[in-house]
Structure formats: C-alpha cells, structure tokens
Amino acid sequence: MIKTQIWGGSGNNSPEITSRGQLVTGDLEYSEFYLGSAIANNTAVNVVPPKPGKRFVITAIILSGDRSIATTGAVTDVFENTTGPTTATVTKQIIQEEIAKQTRMTATGLNILVSEGAWVNVKADDVIVRCNIAGYYVSA
C-alpha cells in the first residue's frame, strides 16, 4: 500500500474519500427531486424549502407544460425568495423560460448554489406548468 496526499485550490484543500471509496472532487451528495406545479396564473408555489444552516445545490431543472396552456405559451420563472414560501417577489432569478403547450425544458448538469435561507419557487403566467428540481443540501 502506498500512502499519498493531494492538495490544491486557493485554500490548499484536500479531496475527500467517502466510505464507499469514492474520491470526491465534485458533487458531495446524490440529488433528490423536489416537485411543484404552478396551478394559478402568477401565483408562486414553493418547490424547494430552506433548511437552517444549509444551502441547496440545484443539479437539474425540468419544466413541463400542461395541455391547458394557451398557444402563446407560459412565461415561467424559477427563482429564489427570502420572504416566504408562496411569495411571488423574485429575490434572485434562477431561470425564466417560455414553456409551450405540452412541451418540456430539461436542464441537467447544473451546479447552482441557492442562497442560505431562500425558498426556491416557481410561477407562470399561464397554467399548468410542472417544475421538477433535483439537487442536494450542503452546509452553509
């Protein structure tokens, strides 16, 4: 057995080796999906709640449009809000996308760090838009 050590980065950090023998240099956890649906025009719905002392890392966003969306589509916002779980005020925009009737937007391979204490909400100007967000919590 040969013992080695790796250091790097601005903090002279060393990567972690998990109990499963994985050398961690990227994602620290496995993602979980959180679900929400914009079911009333311009009304915010919480998708990912904040946890004390934690920040959420978004690894994927999937938005899908219901058959009830008008032909003009639904302008959909996924955003951070620090006021409350159903507040439509955008504290920090994550993504804005127009979702057409019976279509889907899939964004994977993301690494978006949500502010500590922020709710991740979705709202749309037409309904129904389903929002699926994958990710995990890390220490703040």
For 73-96, how does the pLDDT look when each residue is reduced to its tens digit (9 = 90+)?
A: 999 999 999 999 999 999 999 999
CATH number listed for the domain at residues 29-139: 2.60.120
The C-alpha torsion from 41 through 58 and 85 to 89, rounded to 10°, is -60
For residue 15 the two structure tokens come to: 């990567």
CB 125 within 8 A of CB 38: no
Strand partners, 121: 46, 79
Cα–Cα dist 56/49, whole Å: 9
Residue 18 above 80 pLDDT?
no
Q: In the chain, what percentage of residues exceed pLDDT 90?
A: 77
Q: For residue 113, is it left (φ>0), alpha (ψ between -120 and 50) or beta?
A: beta
pLDDT grade for 20, boundaries at 50, 70 and 90: confident
pTM of the model: 0.86
Write down the domain spans for the chain.
29-139
